[in-house]
Amino acid sequence: MTKTNAGTRAGFIALIGEPNAGKSTLLNRMVGAKVSIVTHKVQTTRARIRGVAMEGQSQLVFVDTPGLFKPRRRLDRAMVAAAWSGASDADVVVLMIESHRGITEGVEAILEALEERGGNAPVALALNKIDRVKSEVLLGLTKEMNDRFDFAETFMISAEKGHGVDTLRTWLAGRIPKSPFLYPEDQIADLPMRMIAAEMTREKLTLRLHQELPYQMTCETESWEERKDGSVKIDQVIYVMRDGHKGIVLGNKGETIKAVGKAAREELVEFLGRKVHLFLQVKVRPNWLDEAERYDEMGLNFKDGNA
């Protein structure tokens, strides 16, 4: 399973930053496949999704942490705890900020937390969405950020378009420790396919629904059946908190849930490279945000959500 060549390196890299900083987009770009949910909504990444990328003799294991923000609910607190846990466990940390937004209140809070937490892992700065600002603004932001914190290196990137991503990946490959590979070379994520499939469906729901509802629902893969013809049958349950929410998810004459199922199934077919039979149910669970099992399913620690 692991490669023991003395010349190999392997390590964990935590991507941290505010919601919507582009962490999931960068992870997917690094890995070369979609392993993390990407939407225009904030706070969509709930679990610490690990994507695995190869760069020469180095295996980069990315921890895509939930965006760091001021937590209000139990789920929020568990997400922020997961983000900092991912950073503290990593061999290298990459702080991503949106170049066009500069040093926001959220970035200030992250810088303060990094100073307080210390740690031996080098922290790199990735200024993302560089296509949205002028070069003089980037240079000024680079200086200001490096005056505030001792970054090991600064990178100017566009995660969406790929600019500067190869340079960042090469640098990371040289900073992780010498080690046998931690995963098979052809593995791109350490999440069970059941969770990746659920995330894909939740992404389609989030994109389709433009109310606050996406943060009050979750999707779980209830069963995964491998069929003799090589196809897979996937049963998923979408949990919402109120009867009214169920109606929104279903849509008029079931149009919304049909469209979501079609989009999720098409992406799963592309991802898995085989036929997929996807069946969705919507169930009302008023207190799912306070159920430990739901947090386990999302890879979060229920106890971290305590006030």
21-68 pLDDT per residue, tens: 888 889 888 887 665 544 444 444 444 556 788 888 998 888 766 544
Domain stop point among 143, 175, 207: 175
Angstrom distance (rounded) from CA 209 to CA 256: 9
| Percent with pLDDT over 70 in the chain | 72
Q: Is residue 140 part of a domain?
A: yes
On the question of pLDDT at 267 being above 70, the answer is: yes
- Domain containing 63 equals 9-175
What are the b/e assignments for 198-235, b being 16+ CB within 10 Å?
A: bbbbbbbbbbbbeeebbbbbbbbbeeeeeeeeeebebe
Angstrom distance (rounded) from CA 150 to CA 146: 6
Q: Is residue 49 part of a domain?
A: yes
Identify whether residues 204 and 122 lie together within a single domain: no
Domain stop point among 141, 175, 209: 175
CA-wise closest residue to 95 among 112, 77, 79, 73: 112
Tell me which residue has tokens 């500067």: 164
Domain stop point among 149, 175, 201: 175
0.75 surpassed by pTM: no
Angstrom distance (rounded) from CA 23 to CA 19: 8
Identify whether residues 138 and 203 lie together within a single domain: no
Q: Is residue 186 part of a domain?
A: no
Residue 151, phi then psi, degrees to nearest 5: -75, 140
Query: Tokens standing for 126?
Result: 């990735």
| Alpha helices for 176-275 (secondary structure H) | 193-208, 243-250, 255-272
Q: In whole angstroms, how far apart are CA 202 and each of 14, 38, 159, 176?
A: 23, 10, 22, 33
CA-wise closest residue to 61 among 85, 30, 33, 17: 30
What pLDDT sits at residue 270? Answer: 82
Identify whether residues 277 and 169 lie together within a single domain: no
Identify whether residues 21 and 169 lie together within a single domain: yes
What are the b/e assignments for 268-296, b being 16+ CB within 10 Å?
A: beebeeeebebebebeebeebbeeeebbe
Radius of gyration of the chain (CA): 20
Q: What is the CATH number of the domain that holds 167?
A: 3.40.50.300
Q: What is the CATH number of the domain that holds 207?
A: 3.30.300.20
What pLDDT sits at residue 203? Answer: 83
Q: In whole angstroms, how far apart are CA 105 and each of 40, 109, 296?
A: 20, 6, 31
Identify whether residues 151 and 244 lie together within a single domain: no
Angstrom distance (rounded) from CA 296 to CA 242: 22
What pLDDT sits at residue 297? Answer: 53
Angstrom distance (rounded) from CA 164 to CA 259: 36
Identify whether residues 32 and 166 lie together within a single domain: yes
Identify whether residues 225 and 301 lie together within a single domain: yes
Q: Is residue 183 part of a domain?
A: no
Q: Is residue 40 part of a domain?
A: yes
Q: Is residue 180 part of a domain?
A: no
Structural domain count of the chain = 2
Q: Are 31 and 61 in contact (CB under 8 A)?
A: no
Tell me which residue has tokens 């900020």: 97
Identify whether residues 126 and 266 lie together within a single domain: no
CA-wise closest residue to 30 among 10, 59, 1: 59
For the chain, the average pLDDT equals 79
Count CA within 13 A, CB hemisphere, residue 48.
26
Identify whether residues 213 and 146 lie together within a single domain: no
Angstrom distance (rounded) from CA 50 to CA 11: 11
241 or 86, which is more confident?
241
What pLDDT sits at residue 112? Answer: 81
Q: Is residue 2 part of a domain?
A: no
Identify whether residues 46 and 165 lie together within a single domain: yes
Identify whether residues 152 and 258 lie together within a single domain: no
Quote the strand ranges of the chain, DSSP E.
9-17, 49-55, 58-64, 92-98, 123-128, 153-156, 217-226, 232-240, 276-284
Identify whether residues 166 and 213 lie together within a single domain: no
Pairing between β-strand 58-64 and β-strand 9-17 as defined by DSSP bridges: parallel
Q: Is residue 1 part of a domain?
A: no
Listed ranges 52-56, 62-66, 143-147, 290-294; the one with the highest mean pLDDT: 143-147
